[in-house]
């Protein structure tokens, strides 16, 4: 098959026609490097897709998966479970903020979000408040691509084709990106905490007693890395408490070390009622997600005849034994290698490297928090996204590294155990590319 002419694989979030002209194909990986199909080594600046903080093909995780698939490859997930799923649930909830002692396994971040929304609605109904059906998301929020997540999400290209079929009864808070006041902020921006008051406005509009949940990313990821303004998350928590609204943190990206702690909730000192996770749960090795809930949410479902199912929801592969084995090995490595402490130790170096681009003619903003960062470039007149795509391709072909672009925003998600010299060299190469791009 000539991939440049015919490619049966319809790739996700990809300009397929452009890709097929000159395919960028990876055939191997080890540590912090990919191997292209022609044998070229490529430095990975995005640790997979926010997923692989420990590096690719970590030997302990590889061994655990190999052993598990030869021991128990699959186990029915309804009314029966497997030992690895039980063990992983205990490990994950043991890392969670106080009062969160149960988790529900899924297969992805998208599934985790839809699961969390269903749990929120079911919780209120179980407590006799079935009137609480309204869901609140936020502009620029990314909560996966299933219909629930798209509905509460706030990324226009993901929503517009499917707008007629999105969930009713959904509103959105304004986003907190304010380049005019916060451009080139290091860490949390100073301005914007007052935007949390949008939630009070929606409570006045709909009456807070009709709102089930608010869902936000602690740090916006896919829309271009937007850290929350100082005090913003704390104020959301206060408003939710005042109106009996559940607060959901979508930590599919933030959890498991990306912010130098087990959870973003831990880093910010703000405990939500529900946390969604995926990605770093298994280091990206096997697809898996988890939804963590406060004890009172779980307890609310545990009513009625004991032989009856309490939550009519789940997936064929919930708590898959091979995925759970990968998750357990990942948790072991995090602990044994001090990964979260390593990540915190890299933050200042990463921040300095990112902000070294503040002087570049193409750059209009740089944002960062933890090991999440972005460099936003000005768009070419009449051609939004073109400059970012050119940078992505030039980095791949000319500088042998993989850089993610979301339109004209370059996004960075370094390995939690990055080599500082390798990280620095990647930004030297990036500057060469930005200098060469018109």
- pLDDT per residue of the chain (438 residues) written in tens, 0 to 9: 444 457 899 999 999 999 999 999 999 999 999 999 999 999 999 999 999 999 999 999 999 999 999 999 999 999 999 999 999 999 999 999 999 999 999 999 999 999 999 999 999 999 999 999 999 999 999 999 999 999 999 999 999 999 999 999 999 999 999 999 999 999 999 999 999 999 999 999 999 999 999 999 999 999 999 999 999 999 999 999 999 999 999 999 999 999 999 999 999 999 999 999 999 999 999 999 999 999 999 999 999 999 999 999 999 999 999 999 999 999 999 999 999 999 999 999 999 999 999 999 999 999 999 999 999 999 999 999 999 999 999 999 999 999 999 999 999 999 999 999 999 999 999 999 999 999
What's the rounded Cα separation, in Å, for the pair 228 and 412?
Answer: 17
d(CA 377, CA 409): 6
Q: What is the pLDDT of residue 6?
A: 76
Residue 94's SS3 state is: helix
CATH architecture, range 64-336: 3-Layer(aba) Sandwich (3.40)
Task: Report the alpha-carbon distance of residue 322 to residue 327 in Å, rounded.
Answer: 9
Give the pTM: 0.97
220 neighbors 192 (Cβ within 8 angstroms) = no
Buried b / exposed e along 393-414 (16+ C-beta atoms within 10 A): bbbbeebbbbbbbbbbbbbbbb
**Do 356 and 253 touch, CB atoms closer than 8 A?**
no
Q: What is the CATH number of domain 16-54+339-436?
A: 3.90.1150.10
Closest by Cα among 397, 390, 287 to 37: 397
Distances (CA, A) of 86 to 93, 102, 103, 410: 11, 11, 10, 39
* Angle (nearest 5°) at CA 289 between 285 and 293: 150
Tell me the backbone φ, ψ of residue 261, rounded to 5 degrees.
Answer: -145, 165
* Contact of 190 with 182, CB cutoff 8 Å: yes
Q: Where are the domains of the chain?
A: 16-54+339-436, 64-336
Beta-carbon-side half-sphere exposure of residue 427 (alpha carbons within 13 Å): 23
Could you identify the residue written with the tokens 């672009």? 405
41-44 and 134-138 beta bridge pairing: unpaired
CA nearest neighbour of 377 among 369, 296, 316, 385:
385
Report the distance separating Cα 108 and Cα 424, nearest Å. Answer: 32
Q: What is the Cα gyration radius of the chain?
A: 22
Give the pLDDT of residue 5. 53
């Amino acid at each position: 098959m000539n991939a440049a002419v015919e490619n049966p694989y319809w790739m996700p979030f990809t300009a397929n026609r452009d890709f097929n002209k000159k395919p960028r194909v990876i055939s191997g990986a080890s540590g912090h490097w990919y191997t292209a199909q022609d044998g070229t080594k490529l430095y990975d600046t995005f640790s997979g897709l926010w997923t692989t903080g420990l590096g690719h093909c970590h030997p302990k995780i590889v061994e655990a998966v190999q052993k598990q698939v030869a021991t128990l490859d699959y186990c029915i997930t309804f009314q029966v479970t497997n030992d690895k799923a039980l063990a992983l649930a205990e490990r994950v909830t043991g890392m969670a903020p106080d009062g969160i002692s149960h988790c529900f396994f899924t297969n992805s971040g998208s599934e985790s979000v839809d699961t969390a929304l269903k749990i929120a609605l079911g919780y209120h109904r179980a407590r006799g408040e079935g009137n609480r059906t309204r869901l609140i998301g936020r502009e620029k929020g990314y909560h996966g691509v299933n219909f629930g997540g798209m509905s509460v999400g706030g990324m226009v290209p993901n929503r517009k084709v499917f707008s007629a079929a999105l969930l009713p009864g959904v509103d959105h808070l304004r986003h907190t990106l304010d380049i005019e006041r916060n451009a080139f902020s290091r860490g949390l921006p100073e301005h914007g905490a007052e935007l949390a008051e949008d939630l009070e406005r929606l409570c006045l509009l709909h009456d807070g007693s009709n709102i089930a949940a608010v869902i936000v990313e602690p740090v916006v990821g896919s829309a271009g890395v937007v850290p929350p303004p100082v005090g913003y998350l704390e104020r959301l928590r206060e408003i939710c408490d005042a109106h009996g609204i559940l607060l959901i943190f979508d930590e599919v990206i933030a959890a498991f070390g990306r912010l130098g702690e087990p959870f973003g909730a831990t880093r910010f000192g703000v405990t939500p009622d529900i946390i969604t996770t995926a990605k770093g749960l298994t280091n990206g090795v096997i697809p898996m997600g988890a939804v963590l809930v406060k004890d009172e949410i779980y307890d609310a479902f545990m009513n009625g005849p004991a032989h009856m199912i309490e939550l009519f929801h789940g997936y064929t592969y919930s708590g898959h034994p091979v995925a759970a084995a990968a998750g357990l090995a990942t948790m072991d490595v995090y602990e044994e290698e001090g990964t979260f402490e390593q990540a915190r130790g890299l933050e200042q170096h990463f921040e300095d490297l990112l902000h070294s681009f503040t002087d570049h003619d193409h750059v209009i903003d740089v944002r960062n928090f933890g090991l999440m960062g972005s460099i936003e470039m000005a768009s070419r007149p009449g051609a939004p996204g073109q400059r970012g795509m050119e940078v992505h391709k030039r980095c791949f072909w000319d500088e042998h590294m993989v850089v993610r672009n979301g339109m004209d925003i370059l996004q960075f998600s370094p390995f939690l155990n990055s080599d500082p010299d390798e990280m620095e060299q990647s930004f030297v190469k990036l500057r060469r590319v930005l200098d060469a791009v018109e």
